[in-house]
A and B are shown apart, each in its own frame.
Chain A
Amino acid sequence: MSLFDHTIKEIEAKLHNKEITVQDLVDESYRRIKEVDGQVHAFLTLDEENARAKAKELDQAADTTASLFGIPGGIKDNIVTKGVRTTCASQFLDNFNDPLYDATAVQKLKNEQAISVGKLNMDEFAMGSTNENSSYTPTRNPWNTDYVPGGSSGGSAAAVAAGEVLFSLGSDTGGSIRQPASFCGVVGMKPTYGRVSRFGLVAFASSLDQIGPITRTVEDNARVLEVIAGHDEMDTTSANIDVPKYTEALTEDISGLKIAVPKEYLAEGVAPEVRESILEALKVYESLGATWEEVSLPHSKYAVSAYYLLSSSEASANLARFDGVRYGVRSENADNMIDVFKKSRSEGFGPEVKKRIMLGTFALSSGYYDAYYKKAQKVRTLIKQDFDKIFEDFDVIVGPTSPTTAYKVGELIDDPLTMYANDILTIPVNLAGVPGISLPCGFSENGLPIGLQIIGKYFDESTVYRAAHAFEQATEHHKKRPQLGGAN
């Protein structure tokens, strides 16, 4: 059994009892990365020297009470890390070796003495659902390397699933934490919009983006969110609302919890084995004293269209900053200034990123703004109202995270509309801005994980965690491990 089969709380006890050292933890992380990352490709950059120096320093420290003391984690590569290469898995940022500051979420991890072992692979600029849009070697699913890990935080989910780190940070714009967590059989939380500062997160769609933790257990997840959440004066959209002790919400008592199950979330298009697995989960909830009722999110079928118009429009504006002047790779074939912009961007961005910039620029261009962008914003209002209405009567919404288990590598690469449509169960959550978690609730016949999604009210991550933890403790799914590279 790996050291990383323990929860952060158990590891903390081992550190306090001096059964292990922080250097043991960091050794184990790099040992495992060297053992399996040649198959998984979760990491883009390792920060081994700094991590080992930090471990040594912590082993000498008198005060060991920080809440992530010595815990090795990984950071998605669209979250900037001072002095550590940050590429967003894009050739445009291939030489961005020396970022000037840490993202607030990273700074907060450091304040609690967590150790970052490296930067994690992703779809370029977080655009994609399979990791196949990484401009480096795409990440593979640790449960079966013929399959994708999901995306865009595929590296973040795969690194935790493969036992390379105890936690990771991802970002979620339309499902990019929850869907890879589902595909890789781990726990991924997209907090309420504004719960975690986005300062230092390379912006994709600013009204939707949110940083969140990926871990093996719900308890670990609550612990990491507790650290990274909170108001930040560097992000004016971060919410000035107190952060509760999420770990204290994990009471295992959910009697009387009122669960809404949208009929759209178990409709045609959801794979039969996924549907069965969710119905089994609802039985577990019944046995724990919760009740559930079928409801409707009538506008959810419009969410994918609205999302691609809105997120691409915001992306086209956000990615305008990549001009080849102040940082990034500048084209060597440019003769004048306009050429620097056009050639640097065309050579630096991959096809999916260019396509979305084009879509967004089109939707915002003169004559089309009202028909596409504004229309999508109005539909967003209707989708948000669907959620508001359900949360008048229910505590949480439960359904699958994804209609299917992981795709085979290459399976959907030529069918982008199907791939987009498969994000239908995660996208509405971002459009509404509410929190959502994915946790393992079963396995398909071919051995791939199935994810249960629990969606909560604004800033009520506590109830989401309590519901997730009660289910996890009542089941065994989270104890299964992928058989990679001679594990066990």
Chain B
Amino acid sequence: MADISKEQVKHVAHLARLAVTDEEVEQLVDELSAIIDYAEQLNELDTDGIEPTTHVLDLKNIMRKDEPKEWITQEEAFKNAPDQQDGHFRVPSILGDS
């Protein structure tokens, strides 16, 4: 059984910006351990010297001229915003206890 601790789950949850309850932590320890355990089967394969595939197509950088284009207006950008003020997305204080 893969050994994923409660502390690891809490750390990963913080990295992922998820708030987890103690109950969820317990559950995630079991669920993640089971998946990671299952994924250990990949270690049966010798992959020394095999190139990793990040992408199946032969992709190259695509360059374009740096020219301004019409896209959306400032007004449109705020249409779905939870909160806004004076042309900015408004959020609670950033400095403070977290």
Contacts and interface: CB of A to CB of B under 8 A. Distances in A.
A96 interface: yes
Given A302-B41, A346-B20, A378-B52, A324 B28 contact: no
A36 B24 CA distance: 38
B97 to A, nearest CB: 7
A354 B50 contact: no
Interface stretch (A1-9, A107-115, A359-367, A405-413): A359-367
Contacts of B64: 233
* Secondary structure type dominating chain A contacts: helix
B39 interface: yes
A323 B35 contact: no
B18 A357 contact: yes
Contacts of A20: none
Interface string B60-98: 001010000000100011011111000001011110111
Contacts of B76: 100
A193 B64 CA distance: 23
B88 to A, nearest CB: 11
A375 interface: yes
A337 B50 contact: no
A17 interface: no
B12 A365 contact: yes
Interface in B42-66: 42-45, 47, 50-57, 59, 62, 64
B32 A362 contact: yes
Nearest to A301: B41
B52 A329 contact: no
B71 to A, nearest CB: 9
A97 B47 contact: no
A374 B81 contact: no
Contacts of A355: 28, 31-32
* Secondary structure type dominating chain B contacts: loop
A306 interface: yes
A38 to B, nearest CB: 30
Contacts of B51: 378, 381
B18 A328 contact: no
A178 B95 CA distance: 48
Contacts of B20: 346
Interface string A95-138: 11111110000000000000000000000000000000000000
B40 to A, nearest CB: 8
Most buried by A among B38, B43, B80: B80
A101 B34 CA distance: 41
Contacts of B31: 355, 416
A236 B50 contact: no
Give the interface residue-count category, chain B. 35 or more
Interface in A310-328: 316, 320, 323-328
A327 B38 contact: no
B15 interface: yes
B42 A379 contact: yes
B45 A382 contact: yes
Interface in B1-45: 4, 8-9, 12-13, 15-20, 24, 28, 31-32, 34-36, 38-39, 41-45
Contacts of B96: 335-336
Contacts of B45: 299, 302, 379, 382
A205 to B, nearest CB: 12
Contacts of A334: 92
A343 interface: yes
A362 B91 contact: no
Nearest to A302: B42
Contact of A329 (B19, B38, B82): B82
A365 to B, nearest CB: 6
B42 to A, nearest CB: 5
B17 A323 contact: yes
A432 interface: yes
B16 A325 contact: no
B56 A359 contact: no
A433 B57 contact: yes
B93 A330 contact: no
A248 B38 CA distance: 45
A362 B28 CA distance: 12
B21 to A, nearest CB: 9
A345 B52 contact: no
B45 to A, nearest CB: 6
A330 B83 contact: yes
A335 B79 contact: no
B54 A207 contact: yes
Contacts of B77: 100, 326
Nearest to A316: B16
Ordered nearest first, which 6 A-B pairs have the shortest CB separation?
A: A433-B56, A377-B52, A327-B80, A330-B82, A378-B47, A342-B19
Given A320-B17, A341-B17, 16 more contacts: A207-B54, A207-B55, A236-B62, A237-B55, A302-B45, A325-B81, A325-B91, A335-B92, A336-B98, A337-B91, A337-B98, A340-B91, A342-B17, A345-B19, A355-B31, A417-B38
